[in-house]
Amino acid sequence: MKTFIASKKTELDKDAAILENLKYPNILQLIFCTIQPKSCSLVLELMSTDLNKFIQGRISPDNELPFTLPVALDIMLQIARGLKYIHERGVGHRDIKPSNILMTPTPVPELVEMGYVEVKLADFGMAKAKLMSCTTRSQTANVGTPVYRAPELFDGADAKVSHRV
């Protein structure tokens, strides 16, 4: 559950409006919204952890990797599928980072033993609906977590640079 104080109701409305129209296996699902006099909440699909916490919990002193190569590739593909889905619907997430990528063990027992997980994109509070194009001119500079932001989106970046999704 994600709860907002009443003054942040517009943030809840934006998150809920975007999530209610996104139905895809790699997108966190909105179950329902509640509005109270002093707070508002989004009730969301339950996931075990986020990618950041998961990796931090698996860092070992002997430099063992947190995932096998096939599992890492599968995680990247799931993230890419979720991004492709939202971009095809004109939504730009604008804050993709490990803590906004939620994970839970896969429901397939044989794959759980090998370390496979289900991955879902979450936290659409900074998302931009109705993306017109993928040029830096159409994107808001300095939105999202700076360490994960594309270089061309920093203030003063060359507006002629563009990227494709």
User: Measured between alpha carbons, how far is 136 from 124 in angstroms, rounded to an integer?
Assistant: 20
Known catalytic membership, residue 155: no
For the chain, the distance separating the N- and C-terminal CA atoms, rounded to the nearest angstrom, is 30
Q: How far is CA 140 from CA 93, 120, 123, 132, in A?
A: 12, 24, 18, 12
Match 């986020």 to its residue by tokens. Answer: 50
Which listed residue (50, 95, 123, 158) is catalytic? Answer: 95
Rounded-to-10 torsion of CA 77, 82, 88, 90: -140
C-beta neighbour count of 60 within 10 angstroms: 8
Question: What are the catalytic residues?
Answer: 95
